[in-house]
């Protein structure tokens, strides 16, 4: 079994990743600040779901605390690091840019420094499809130019990729950066569209539909994403081991960037239709223009992921994924209202 360290293990993706690893018998060290970007109780409840796992060691502090982070690496000596802790959200980055600089740049640099002084077999870290900006070529390939971010969040994620590449080159840290595509599912974040839509429709309130409803997203179900992360954890970037001209393996470092998405974008109105079907009610729609920092479409080219893992990425149908979220949401709300 392998010892993993996950930053952000009380977060949406971190929680699911930790749970799957623990289910598979691995040792997991988790770090999370349990901050108040959204309701900390949801994060506490995620951690409570993992509290009976003897192979989990949880630490509560911010990755901006370089000293504490270094001590944790030294104490636990992780073999694989999955760095997911970050300040999330495109729109919030317009309101609170400083928090993105602290968490996504300073915090990531601290993780890289800790991995530098405590060598790991594989460093895996979260980037985002938002780095593609307003690219009109679809699907998005990892080799496409991604130098024109349209939100501060996207800029910090692109910087994460650049920082990790330099560390991989200078200190030989094998690194894979993931570009996530609109991840959704049970235990998701309250600031995400699915959570907002379900809550509003259940309560008979209107939902805000931006971009006139014409946007398209490559929705990725959380279980599919975690499965891809786990498969890639054993595929450690090595010099000279390219899988083709579409590979992003660096010529000067053990560093690779990989899309984690199925390449099947869904229209926003179709997504809302799936939500209405799962909830059993029609939504009252408040049609609005595009918001600053948003993009019209995201679509992943999964060719590199397929070549690396030897199989096509799993692709849960949106209707099934949304239904699973609604079932979880209702159960979670019922539990929260119990005396």
**Dihedral class, residue 134 (left if φ above 0, else alpha if ψ from -120 to 50, else beta):** alpha
CB burial class (10 A; 0-12, 13-18, 19+) of residue 305? buried
Q: Within 13 Å and on the Cβ side, how many CA atoms surround 6?
A: 28
Burial of residue 315 (CB within 10 Å: 0-12, 13-18, 19+) is middle
Nearest-CA neighbor of 299 among 256, 257, 260? Answer: 260
CA–CA distances in Å: residue 338 to residues 52, 238, 328, 332, 334: 22, 52, 16, 10, 7
Point out which residues pair with 179 in neighbouring strands: 127, 259
Catalytic residues: 153
Q: Distance between CA atoms of 328 and 195, rounded to whole angstroms? A: 11
Interatomic CA distance for residues 171 and 228, integer angstroms: 26
- For the record, the structure tokens of 170 come out as 């200078």
């Amino acid at each position: 079994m392998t010892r993993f360290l996950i930053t952000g293990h009380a977060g949406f993706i971190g929680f699911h990743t930790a749970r799957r690893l623990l289910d598979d018998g691995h040792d997991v060290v988790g770090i999370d600040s349990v901050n108040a970007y959204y309701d900390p109780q949801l994060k506490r409840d995620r951690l409570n779901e993992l509290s009976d796992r003897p192979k989990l060691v949880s630490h509560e502090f911010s990755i901006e605390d370089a000293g504490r982070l270094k001590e944790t690496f030294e104490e636990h000596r992780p073999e694989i690091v999955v760095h997911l802790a970050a300040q999330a959200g495109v729109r919030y980055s317009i309101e609170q840019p400083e928090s993105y600089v602290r968490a996504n740049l300073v915090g990531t640099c601290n993780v890289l420094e800790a991995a530098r002084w405590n060598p790991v077999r594989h460093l895996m870290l979260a980037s985002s499809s938002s780095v593609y900006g307003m690219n009109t070529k679809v699907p998005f390939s990892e080799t496409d130019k991604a130098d024109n971010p349209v939100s501060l969040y996207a800029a910090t994620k692109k910087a994460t990729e650049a920082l990790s590449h330099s560390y991989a080159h200078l200190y030989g840290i094998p690194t894979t950066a993931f570009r996530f595509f609109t991840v959704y599912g049970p235990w998701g974040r309250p600031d995400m569209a699915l959570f907002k839509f379900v809550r509003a429709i259940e309560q008979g309130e209107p939902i805000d539909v931006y971009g006139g409803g014409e946007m398209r997203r490559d929705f990725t179900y959380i279980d599919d994403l975690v499965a891809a992360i786990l498969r890639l954890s054993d595929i450690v970037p090595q010099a000279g081991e390219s899988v083709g001209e579409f590979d992003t393996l660096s010529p000067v470092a053990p560093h690779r960037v990989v899309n984690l998405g199925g390449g099947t974008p869904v229209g926003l109105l179709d997504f809302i239709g799936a939500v209405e079907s799962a909830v059993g009610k029609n939504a009252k729609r408040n049609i609005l223009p595009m918001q600053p920092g948003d993009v019209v479409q995201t679509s992943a080219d999964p060719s590199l992921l397929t070549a690396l893992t030897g199989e096509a990425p799993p692709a849960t149908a949106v209707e099934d994924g949304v239904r699973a979220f609604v079932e979880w949401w209702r159960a979670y709300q019922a539990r929260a209202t119990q005396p």
